[in-house]
Each structure stands twice: as structure tokens, then as C-alpha cells.
């Protein structure tokens, strides 16, 4: 087309060629030429641009074409490698297959860098598309680790780091959590993604940002109209507001989803809403929310109570007769092995038991755990109902959404029952999904085919 768009039509028979050729000659004075297609099965060739399309040819025969607008992410996986991730059509039939990823190996580093820049520019992955709404600078991200600048656009947001850039559509964000850390210094903002982002060969289904709780924004410009700003309860220029609160409000508005905060029905011995523990070799925090368990930071584990078959408590392995730690095993429906959360302090036992019973979750060995039930004490000397001062920016879940959001001036404090209405997920962990690609030769490519979250190389 004159504006650069390309439309493709298929399903023609050989006998239709002369008819179609005559039509274009008569009405548009255009010649319809035949182009040979490579059928050798070679996975290398020479690339070139034809308008908005990247073409790869083998011996002057067309191997394939890629529309730049179909590219969602351009990820450099090495000095000589570039990975392309494609937009997934959410209207497709679940049984349909679609191309989700392709990788190129380019022997010449200079050309590899040039091709990467061209792909980013032509696909629009550089800008995220549209006018910039706002920009957050130097945001610490725990998963995937690094410091990034975050640009928010109308339909997507972009993370710009030293080595990796990610453009993520708001519709790809499935759930959000704003979690105060027990160190009284940091707040974590967790984003769950339907389609994971990749850093090298590792896929991440959750992003975990971590801010200083007291970090504020000054002279922070927001490019939204007055009506949208009123919905966000923000001004054109924000001064003196907490960073995490402003970001939570903007993400709630742009995604149309609630930001879940900790459940006030559970209090740990230190007054916070989480329990320190370890999962496998990773130290972290388990948050018992209203409708789910959430473990952060690595890997992020999100387990809905509706998916829990039962839980089991056990005394932590120790050479001593008495131990101050216990373990919690969570059995999910349809899974043979439990999720183990270990090294929980004994002082958290009674509080967890009480909360889990109120949540209606079956406890397999309540009487046989060997830990006993006793009065829970607090190391800080506060009362069982006491809690450290978190300020007004993180309201509790048991208030209404509107009051929370207005009073907090920050992230919405909704329960995670909204997530329960969304599609069921068989797994919600951010366990690293590693896929090795070792076939490397002159400018070759790998195809990945998507079928029900599965990939196939051809």
C-alpha cells in the first residue's frame, strides 16, 4: 500500500494466476510477478529489508518474511545472537499453533548489532508506541535483576536497562501486588505476566520491583488529561508523593486491574503480614493473602487457596531435641509433589495455624506435627494485635477499594479475590524456564511454535 502497509491473501490455485494478473494490470497498471520460494529446508541465508518486512533468502529464493509490526520484543541473547518474540493473538483457538519466537545467529558482530537496532526501530519496540505518559528513572528490579528506567505509554510500558530492554503491553499484566518488606525500609511491587519476558535463556512470569519505602517523586510530570488524573487521584505535576504509591495508582489505571496488598487478618510475630522462610535454596517471604499464598522474591510462587488440596506442618530437621523452626508443605490439586517452605520460626506457628483454619484449608497433621499450640509471643514486645507503623500509603484489605485508594494516596488495597475470577492457572511460579539453543552457523534461525503454552522447534 502507499502508506507502507502490506496485505497478504492466500489459498489461490495455479489456474487463478492469469485472472488475477489481468485484474491488477487493467485496474491498477501493476504487474503481478511470480517469486520463487526456497524449498531446500536450509536454515541460513541473506537478510534484507523490503519496506516494513524483513526477508531472508536462500540463493535468491524467498525463505520467509517477517512483518516488523508482528515483533513484540527484540532481545540480544549474545554478541552474535538476536531473539525475536512475536505478539500472541489472544483471539486464536486454544488448539491453534502460532509462531512465538525466532532466533538468529549472525557471525559478524557489527552486522548483528546493526540488525538488532534496525529490528527495534522498525518494530516500534524502541518507543513502546504512542506518547509518553510518564517516566520513572533508576528503578531497582530484583527479578530479573538490574536497574531500569520505566516509561509508561498508552498501551504498554517499557523497561530500559544497560543490557536488556522490554516492552510489555498492559493487557499482558494479569495481577499486581504491593508488599511492604519486614525490614521497614523497602516495598516490593510484583507484576504477574501472562506472557513471560526473557533474559537470555531464562523466562520470567513475574517482575519484582523493590523501592525504598521513603523514596518520593518531585516535579514528576504526568501526561494525562484532567479526567484521567482525577480517576488516578494525581496532579499534572506530582511533588512529595511516595514513589511506590504513584506507580501503583498509574498501573491500576492503565491496566484496569486492582493492586493487591497484604491481608490484615494475618500478623506475624514481628507485626508484619508475612513469614520469613526458604523455598529450596532461596530465602524469601511467604505472604498469606485473603485468597492466595504469595512467596517472593526468587522464585515468585503464587498459589490460590482454591487450588490447595491440603497443607502439612512438620518440625524442621535438626540434630537437637528442640528446634525453633518448622516447615510448611502446600499440596496443590493435580500435583504429586508439595511446595516446601522451610525454616519458619516457631513463633509463627500458632498464627499460621489460626489463619489457615479460618481460610478453610485442610491441615493434614494438626495433631501430629509435634510443635504444640501455645501463646504466641512477639520479639518486639508488642501486643498480638499490634503492628509496626506502615504509614497511610499501604491501607488494609478489609476496607473498601474507593476509601483505600483515596485515603492511601497510593496503591489500591484490594483483596486478591479479583484474581480468582480470572482464568485458572496450573502453575504460578517464576521458576526459571531454561531453553538451550546450540545450533550455530552462518545466519541461521530457530523457529518456536506455540500450542497451549508449548513450544516446538522445526
Higher pLDDT, 14 or 402: 14
Instruction: Answer for the pair 46, 57: CB distance below 8 angstroms, yes or no.
Output: yes
**Residue 79: pLDDT above 60?**
yes
Distance, CA of 365 to CA of 423 (rounded, Å): 31
Q: Would you state the pLDDT for residue 252?
A: 94
CB burial string 170-194: b at 16+ within 10 A, e below: bebbbbbbbbbbbeeebbbbbbbbb
Among 27-36, 236-245, 252-261, the minimum mean pLDDT is found in: 27-36
**Residue 204: pLDDT above 50?**
yes
pLDDT bin (cut points 50, 70, 90) of residue 438 is very low
Cell of 391: 504509614
- Give 265-387's CATH code, choosing from 3.30.460.10, 2.30.29.30, 3.40.50.2300, 3.40.50.10320: 2.30.29.30
**Residue 125: pLDDT above 80?**
no
Higher pLDDT, 225 or 395: 225
Q: What is the pLDDT of residues 414-431, one digit of tens each?
A: 445 444 444 344 334 444
Interhelix angle 243-255/401-408, rounded to 10 degrees, is 140
Instruction: Answer for the pair 429, 302: CB distance below 8 angstroms, yes or no.
Output: yes
Q: Would you state the pLDDT for residue 285?
A: 95
Q: Would you state the pLDDT for residue 417?
A: 45
Strand pairing category for 202-212 and 134-143:
antiparallel
Residues 6+ apart with CB under 8 A from 327: 313, 314, 315, 316, 340, 341, 342, 343, 344
Cell of 308: 490447595
Q: Would you state the pLDDT for residue 186?
A: 92
Residues in the chain: 458
Higher pLDDT, 22 or 391: 22
Provide the 10 A C-beta neighbour count for residue 386: 11
Q: Would you state the pLDDT for residue 3?
A: 66
Per-range mean pLDDT, top range of 81-90, 174-183, 318-327? 174-183
Q: State phi, psi for 288 to the nearest 5 degrees.
A: -80, 105
Residues 6+ apart with CB under 8 A from 66: 53, 54, 55, 84, 102
Provide the 10 A C-beta neighbour count for residue 261: 30
Among 127-131, 328-332, 425-429, the minimum mean pLDDT is found in: 425-429
Instruction: Answer for the pair 252, 258: CB distance below 8 angstroms, yes or no.
Output: yes
Average pLDDT of the segment spanning 350-367: 87
Average pLDDT of the segment spanning 256-270: 90
Q: Please, where in the chain does CATH 2.30.29.150 lie?
A: 134-264+393-433
Burial of 363 (0-12, 13-18, 19+ CB in 10 A): middle
Task: Give the mean pLDDT of the chain.
Answer: 78
Q: 3-state secondary structure string, the chain?
A: CCCCCCCCCCCCCHHHHHHHHHHHHHHHCCCCCCCCECCCCCCECEEEEECCEEEEEECCEEEEEEEHHHEEEEEEEECCEEEEEECCCCCCCCCCCEEEEEEEECCCHHHHHHHHHHHHHHHCCCCCCCCCCEEEEEEEEEECCEEEEEEECCCEEEEECCCCEEEEEHHHEEEEEEEECCCCCEEEEEEEEEEEEEECCEEEEEEEEEEECCCEECCEECCCCHHHHHHHCCCCEECCEEHHHHHHHHHHHHHCCCEECCCCCCCCCCCCCCEEEEECCEEEEEEECCCEEEEECCCCEEEEHHHEEEEEEEECCCCCCCCCEEEEEEEECCCCCCEEEEEEEHHHHHHHHHHHHHCCCCECCCCCCCCCCCCCCCCCCCCCCCCCCCCCCCCCCCCCHHHHHHHHCCCCCECCHHHHCCCCCCCCECCCEECCCCCCCCCEEEEEEEECCEEEEC
Q: Would you state the pLDDT for residue 209?
A: 95
Among 22-36, 61-75, 143-157, the minimum mean pLDDT is found in: 61-75
**Residue 254: pLDDT above 90?**
yes
Say how many Å lie between the first and final Cα of the chain, rounded.
32
Higher pLDDT, 143 or 391: 143
Q: What is the pLDDT of residues 86-114, one digit of tens each?
A: 877 766 777 788 888 888 999 888 888 88
CA-nearest of 245, 270, 192, 172 to 413 is 245
Q: Please, where in the chain does CATH 2.30.29.220 lie?
A: 14-126+435-457
Q: What is the pLDDT of residues 214-242, one digit of tens each?
A: 999 999 999 999 999 998 889 999 999 99
Q: Please, where in the chain does CATH 2.30.29.30 lie?
A: 265-387
Cell of 397: 484489605
**Residue 376: pLDDT above 50?**
no
Per-range mean pLDDT, top range of 200-209, 354-363, 388-397? 354-363
| C-alpha pair distances (Å), 139 with each of 86, 218, 312, 349 | 26, 15, 38, 36
pLDDT bin (cut points 50, 70, 90) of residue 128 is low
Average pLDDT of the segment spanning 35-48: 85
Among 16-20, 225-229, 253-257, 379-383, the minimum mean pLDDT is found in: 379-383
Per-range mean pLDDT, top range of 5-9, 138-142, 320-324? 138-142
Among 328-332, 387-391, 409-413, the minimum mean pLDDT is found in: 387-391
Q: State phi, psi for 436 to the nearest 5 degrees.
A: -90, 135
| The overall pTM is greater than 0.85 | no
Q: What is the CATH number of domain 14-126+435-457?
A: 2.30.29.220
pLDDT bin (cut points 50, 70, 90) of residue 437 is very low
Q: Does domain 134-264+393-433 have CATH number 3.50.50.60?
A: no
Q: Measured at the alpha carbon of residue 135, what is the angle toward residues 130 and 140, in degrees to the nearest 5?
A: 130
Q: Is the peptide bond before 57 cis (omega within 30 degrees of 0)?
A: no
Measured over the CA atoms of residue 350, residue 353, residue 357 and residue 358, the dihedral's sign is: positive
Q: Would you state the pLDDT for residue 124?
A: 67
Amino acid at each position: 500500500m502507499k502508506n507502507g502497509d502490506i496485505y497478504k491473501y492466500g489459498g489461490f490455485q495455479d489456474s487463478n494466476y492469469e485472472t488475477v494478473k489481468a485484474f491488477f494490470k487493467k485496474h491498477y497498471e501493476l504487474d503481478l510477478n511470480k517469486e520463487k520460494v526456497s524449498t531446500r529446508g536450509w536454515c541460513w541465508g541473506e537478510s534484507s529489508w523490503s519496506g516494513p518486512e524483513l526477508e531472508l533468502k536462500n540463493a535468491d529464493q524467498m525463505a520467509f518474511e517477517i512483518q516488523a509490526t508482528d515483533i513484540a520484543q527484540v532481545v540480544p541473547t549474545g554478541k552474535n545472537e538476536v531473539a525475536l518474540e512475536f505478539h500472541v493473538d489472544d483471539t486464536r483457538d486454544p488448539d491453534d499453533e502460532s509462531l512465538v519466537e525466532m532466533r538468529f545467529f549472525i557471525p559478524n558482530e557489527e552486522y548483528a548489532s546493526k540488525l538488532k537496532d534496525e529490528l527495534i526501530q522498525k518494530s516500534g519496540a524502541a518507543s513502546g508506541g504512542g506518547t509518553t505518559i510518564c517516566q520513572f528513572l533508576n528503578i531497582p528490579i530484583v527479578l530479573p535483576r538490574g536497574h531500569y528506567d520505566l516509561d509508561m505509554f498508552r498501551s504498554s510500558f517499557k523497561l530500559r536497562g544497560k543490557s536488556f530492554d522490554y516492552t510489555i503491553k498492559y493487557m499482558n499484566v494479569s495481577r499486581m501486588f504491593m508488599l511492604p518488606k519486614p525490614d521497614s525500609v523497602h516495598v516490593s511491587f510484583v507484576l504477574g505476566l501472562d506472557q513471560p519476558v526473557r533474559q537470555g535463556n531464562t523466562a520470567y512470569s513475574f517482575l519484582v520491583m523493590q523501592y525504598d519505602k521513603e523514596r518520593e517523586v518531585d516535579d514528576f510530570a504526568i501526561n494525562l488529561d484532567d479526567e484521567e488524573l482525577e480517576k488516578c487521584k494525581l496532579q499534572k505535576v506530582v511533588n512529595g508523593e511516595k514513589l511506590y504509591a504513584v506507580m501503583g495508582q498509574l498501573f491500576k489505571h492503565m491496566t484496569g486491574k486492582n493492586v493487591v496488598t497484604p491481608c490484615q487478618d494475618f500478623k506475624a510475630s514481628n507485626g508484619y503480614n508475612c513469614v520469613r522462610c526458604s523455598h529450596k535454596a532461596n530465602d524469601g517471604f511467604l505472604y498469606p493473602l485473603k485468597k492466595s499464598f504469595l512467596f517472593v522474591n526468587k522464585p515468585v510462587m503464587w498459589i490460590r487457596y482454591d487450588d490447595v488440596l491440603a497443607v502439612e506442618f512438620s518440625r524442621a530437621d535438626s540434630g537437637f531435641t528442640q528446634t525453633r523452626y518448622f516447615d510448611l508443605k502446600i499440596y496443590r490439586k493435580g500435583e504429586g509433589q508439595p511446595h516446601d517452605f522451610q525454616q519458619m520460626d516457631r513463633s509463627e506457628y500458632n498464627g499460621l495455624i489460626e489463619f489457615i483454619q479460618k481460610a478453610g484449608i485442610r491441615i493434614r497433621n494438626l495433631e501430629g506435627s509435634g510443635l504444640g499450640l501455645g501463646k504466641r509471643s512477639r520479639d518486639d514486645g508488642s501486643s498480638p494485635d499490634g503492628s509496626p507503623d506502615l504509614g497511610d500509603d499501604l491501607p488494609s484489605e478489609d476496607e473498601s477499594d474507593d476509601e483505600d485508594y483515596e485515603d492511601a494516596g497510593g496503591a489500591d488495597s484490594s483483596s486478591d479475590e479479583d484474581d480468582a475470577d480470572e482464568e485458572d492457572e496450573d502453575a504460578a511460579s517464576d521458576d526459571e524456564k531454561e531453553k538451550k539453543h546450540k545450533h550455530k552457523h552462518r545466519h541461521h534461525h530457530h523457529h518456536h511454535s506455540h500450542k497451549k503454552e508449548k513450544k516446538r522447534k522445526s
